Amino acid sequence: METSYCPYCMTPVPGDGACPVCGLTSGNYTPLPHHIPPGTVLMDRYLVGRVLGEGGFGITYIGCDLRLELKVAIKEYFPTNWVSRHSETSLSVNCYAGAGSSYEKGKSRFLYEARTMAKMDKQPEIVSVRDFFEANGTVYIVMEYVDGTTFKELVAQRGGRIPAGELLPMIEPLFSALSAVHAAGLIHRDISPDNLMLEHGSVRLLDFGCARESTEGSETMTITLKHGYAPIEQYQHKGQGAWTDVYGLSATIYYCLTGKTPPQALDRLMDDEIILPRRLGVDLTEKQERALLRGMGIKQHHRFRTVEELHAALYEGVDDPEQPARGGRMKDNSDTPTEIPERAGTDASQRAGVRRRTVLGVVMSLIAVAGILGLIFLPRGGEEKPVTSGAGSITADISEEWAGPERDELFANARSAADEETLAALLADDSVEAVSLSGDFHAGRPYTINKPLLVPEETSAVFTCAVELTEGGVIWASGRVDGSVVVNGGTLVADEGGEVYGSLVLLSSGLVQQGGSVSEDIYALPIEELFAGAVSVSSEDDLRSACENSGVSAIRIEGDIAISESITSNVPVLVTEGARLAPQTDGLEFCVNGAPLVNDGTVECSLWFGGEYPVLLNRGKLSPADGIWIERLDSSNSVFINLGSAELSAYNAMWCRLLNFGSITASGSADEPGALGFGSGDFSNYGSVSVGENCVLVSGGFIDNHGELTIGGAFENYGAVSSVFGSIELLSGGSVENRGLIDMYDVSTLTVNEGARLNTLEGVLLYRSNCSQISGEIDGRVWEVSFELIDDVPMHSVSTEAELLDALADDSIRSIMINGELTLTQPLTVTKPVYIIYDSSIVIPEGETVTVDGSIFVVNGRLTCDAIDVANGGMLEVIGEWKAHGDGAALKLTGGSWAYSRMCAMSVSELTLSENSMAVYASAEMTILRDIELSGGSFLVLRGETLASDSLNAEISDSTLIQLCSAELGGSSSVVLSRTSLYSQSGQLQLLNGGSVNIQSGARYVSFGGRLVLEPGSMLRNGGSFSALGFSDACRPAVNGSLENRSSMFLTLPMEISGTFTNKGRIYSSIVPAEGSFSISDGAVVEGIDNIEPWPEG
């Protein structure tokens, strides 16, 4: 008679009866769709039972070795980011599109680690590997099943702590076992009270499925970080070794002795508030306490390098010189945290000391637990420019009348310039009084203008690099001026009929609006006015006194000041040329609350900016020891303007507008990795930005690169990068993960050197090969088009329908330019490049279609038609206007075709992409969209105005939707994700009454910081994978409607619930304590949140 086993505990049971041990029956257990059903037998030997645990890269089942009749644990390699499965159909895993290579590498690593761990069978403290094999398209490790008590449970059983005299002898055998593991070239990386178990009086170390080679780099699978037990280096890919396990083991001992989870390493980095064990009554000697704290040293070089060293100091009493702690102090239980003074009216959560630690902890947790190398930031919806009337309480001083000579007099002797070289030569020639541009002018180099420059009527001057107006310099805009202009002693005049676009930085009162229009993107910092009545200081005492004096309006630092404690200023501060502001020890900050900081000298202490108008202007040298934090989620009121050099290390986060005209260098080391995070808003680079080894740059905003961007470390892009007359270079060892858009459409270069890596499998990278250059190997598709026949050769001009049809039929004509207003009488098939120039138009008969068959169709002018079909690798560019005869047009892309648009007028109501096609859709009329259908590995990037609709129907199958803009969906609007689809939501998504999102099995929905709000009457159903990731509570998801989870949900932000939340799946949260994962209002209906699980492995 065949033996039956309980799927819960693998005890033999009679027939279908209840288990004599646990009392349950097989009918009590219902697996999730991607789990192997209980009763399955693998390799004709291993019976699978219930799931014991699930992480980002593996599922662990209880099992039975039928041959030996022995209970086992079976770990299945199942990385949720790369594969899916519906076990009712098949037990085989299915790779997501583009994930095959990563999956195979991970599978090989999983098997390698199994083989290595199998060699540890002589270490009784290490859970042994009994077997490993491949099946169902994946791999399995069969491990010894340990049935005991975790040390977390043991602490609870002992009343909250274990005496040192009992604990230390109990765990001592673990040291030699770990030593053997490290000698084999592995590190565990996940030592915690949950992974230590007491079985029959002996200590056992669990979960070596997370172990890895200590020398392995970025290809190794990451694990969930247990905050409090993970050292600082685990928040980065590099710098891990035996000392990593030293930290985890020491932190575990600390917990067992005190009953308190140690503060996160990242929190300790900023302000070490760990309570000394002996202050809590723990019976350790002074030397033992010192040894334990050194094992928990924040920096690697402050820590024991091996477990042998830790053992010697802890057990044998080897003297250990006290190591300095980062961030201030070790804290006893009577201390109160030193808080940075608040500005009146500022919420306590905005304090630098509290909020900075909280944000950084969440941010850096994401680095490891969500595969996000650095910070996940709020992307800005839409394309509108930030609007400000000044920085701080400073109002932009705009004059209405020019006080100098009249225009005709000023330019009476002007010399004419038509190109960049001529303009540069005339500006440098002292004998030239003034310059006048002739014709439209496009500059790809920076200029310093120190004499009058006229942009006449009907002409334009586009500066894609920075322009500085110095003393004597004037730009007189009678035509159009577009670019970034720094007014520093000169004057910018917008004359009647003139237009000034772009970013304006006013360092002096030099903006005249004399009847013309002026950009609203203005940052006014008139230095002389700001500091006219400033108090001068040259010592720390003077500085502190001035900051605390309510009668002081501004401060000038005029000497070398080294601060011994953090200081906060609520008024403008100027560090003068030759002056220096520095910390005496690590971890000290200079905080500026709601006022500008102007640096003309040197600043070496950490900087934090808060309040309503955080502003930093650097014209000297910045080298902050512990980074810069500019904390304003509404980035339109905050700005960092760099005209000098900024050498950044440690952790830097900027929720602001960033204008770089100088140099920014971000770096780190193996011991102290660095991070530069850029949040919502625009980052305009006109100078140089360099990210060094052991450092990560992460952007969720919009980067406009007109200078040099060099990556020697890592760059994670979740927003949009547009490089115009700029260069991006990846040095050997550098890496870029593109999960948003990298736009190389205009003149720029991208170089991937040997040994570097650029991955764009889940993002979009595009370029025009005749304008831009891309070199090196890239993972993922690069969308390429050549406009050589449009930009580089004479085009055949047509102005009538007959001329157009003849030109299309003439093989000797290579490309066609529409010059005039054409009204066609029949459909149009484009088989060679056709370009509608500005001020020209084509009208297609109502109901008829333009078919682009393997060629290029450019709408720079106006097009009226009801449908465009792009097929066979064709390409459509719309930067002008496309209108339909009726309510909306249809755009269809098939056969690997693609479409590109910038903020333009497109009346498109239907978008259909199939067969690996792609579209970047940036329309000013997003509200017209009613139907979106993506299939067959296609990509759609939405980056226009807010997508507001009450009738949108979006069906995404085996494809990727990247939402960079904001979206408001209500009424009958529905988004359905099926099969292996990915919805990457970076802009805000608001589901209004009637709106719904349905995530089916195998599909993924990931919010990278853009807030998700479910209003009353809306519904989100998750049957696949739902992730809400972010760094700030300001963008926490809000459920005012209904959310139903039937599969896996991942949270790094607390979720507000005032509506209905039903959980019938699993919830994983990185929030500690787990109860903080939900904020539940009175009247909310909540079901199934009692068992929130820690963030999974992988």
User: 326 and 468 share a domain?
Assistant: no
**Same-domain pairing of 408 and 518:** yes
Q: Are residues 4 and 87 in the same domain?
A: no
Q: What is the pLDDT of residues 929-956, one digit of tens each?
A: 999 999 999 999 999 889 999 999 999 9
Could you tell me which residue, 623 or 1072, shows the higher pLDDT?
623
Model confidence at 1036, in pLDDT bands (50, 70, 90)? Answer: confident
353 beta partners:
none
Instruction: Report whether 575 contacts 557 (CB < 8 A).
Output: yes
**Is residue 984 a contact partner of residue 960, using CB atoms and an 8 Å limit?**
yes
**pLDDT band at residue 364 under the 50/70/90 scheme:** very low
728 in a domain, yes or no? no
Q: What integer pLDDT is reported at residue 225 of this predicted model?
A: 66
163 and 83 housed in the same domain? no
Domain boundary among 108, 128, 144: 144
Q: Residue 903 pLDDT more than 90?
A: no
Q: What's the mean per-residue pLDDT of the chain? A: 85
Say if residue 39 is in the same domain as residue 20: no
How much of the chain, in percent, has pLDDT values that exceed 70?
87
Q: For residues 947 and 932, give the distance between their C-alpha atoms in angstroms, rounded to a whole number.
A: 12
Local confidence band at 87 (pLDDT 50, 70, 90 cut-offs): confident
| pLDDT (mean) for 902-916 | 93
Structure-token pair, residue 963? 């939402």
* pLDDT at 902 (0 to 100): 86
pLDDT of residue 308: 94
Is residue 1040's pLDDT more than 50? Answer: yes
- Summarize pLDDT for 527-572 with one digit per residue, the tens: 888 899 999 999 999 999 999 999 999 999 999 999 999 999 999 9
Confidence of residue 519 (pLDDT cuts 50, 70, 90): confident
Q: How would you list the strands of the sheet with 491-495, edge to edge?
A: 398-399, 511-514, 491-495, 474-477, 452-455, 435-437, 415-417
Q: 985 with 1082, same domain?
A: yes
Query: Three-state secondary structure along 1009-1057?
Result: CCCEEECCCCEEEECCEEEEECCCHHHCCEECCEEEECCEEEECCCEEE
pLDDT at 444 over 50: yes
- Any domain includes 313: yes
Give the pLDDT score at 1034. Answer: 60
Mean pLDDT value across residues 611-631: 89
Q: What is the H or E stretch that residue 775 is in?
A: strand 773-775
Closest CA to 456 of 407, 404, 513: 407
| 290 assigned to some structural domain | yes
pLDDT band (50, 70, 90) for residue 379 = very low
The domain in which residue 1073 lies consists of 946-1098
Specify the DSSP class assigned to residue 707.
S
Answer yes or no: do 79 and 126 share one domain. Answer: yes
Shared domain for 227 and 309, answered yes or no, is yes
Same domain, 82 and 10: no
| Of 93, 112, 144, the domain-final residue | 144
Q: Is residue 588 part of a domain?
A: no
Domain end: 144, 175, 191, which one? 144
Count of domains observed in the chain: 5
Give me the mean pLDDT over the 971-992 stretch: 94
**Single-letter amino acid code for the residue at 1054:** P
Question: Which residues, listed in sequence order, are joined to residue 876 by a DSSP beta bridge?
Answer: 857, 899
18-27, 239-248, 518-527: which range is least confident on average? 18-27
Query: What's the pLDDT at 339?
Result: 31
How far, in whole angstroms, is CA 98 from its chain's centroid? 20
Using one digit for the tens of pLDDT, what is the confidence trace for 677-710? 886 668 999 999 999 999 999 888 889 999 999 9
Is residue 529 included in any domain, yes or no? no
Residue 647's pLDDT band (cuts 50, 70, 90):
very high
Question: Is 553 buried (19+), middle (13-18) or exposed (0-12) by CB count in 10 A?
Answer: middle
Residues 199 and 310 in one domain: yes
What digits encode the pLDDT tens for the residues 255-272? Answer: 999 999 998 887 676 567
Question: The pTM is what?
Answer: 0.66
User: Is residue 140 situated within a structural domain?
Assistant: yes
- pLDDT-wise least confident of 317-331, 497-511, 780-794, 867-881: 317-331
pLDDT at 369 over 50: no
CATH classification of the domain holding 301: 1.10.510.10
- Residue 620 lies inside a defined structural domain of this protein: no
What confidence category does residue 1 fall into, taking pLDDT thresholds of 50, 70 and 90?
Answer: low
From residue 781, give the alpha-carbon distance in Å to each of 195, 759, 901. 41, 9, 19
Q: How far apart are CA 641 and CA 617, in angstroms?
A: 5
Q: Is 75 annotated as a binding residue?
A: yes
- Please calculate the CA angle 263-267-271 and round it to the nearest 5 degrees: 105
pLDDT band, very low/low/confident/very high, at 239 (cuts 50, 70, 90): low
Q: Could you read off the pLDDT of 481-506 as tens digits, one per residue?
A: 988 889 989 999 999 889 998 888 88
Looking up tokens 């202007």 gives 617
Q: Do both 37 and 118 map to the same domain?
A: yes
Rounded average pLDDT over 831-839: 94
In a domain, 610, yes or no: no
Which pLDDT band holds residue 507 (cuts at 50, 70, 90)?
A: confident
Contact 504, 485 (CB under 8 A): yes
Q: 164 and 61 in one domain?
A: no
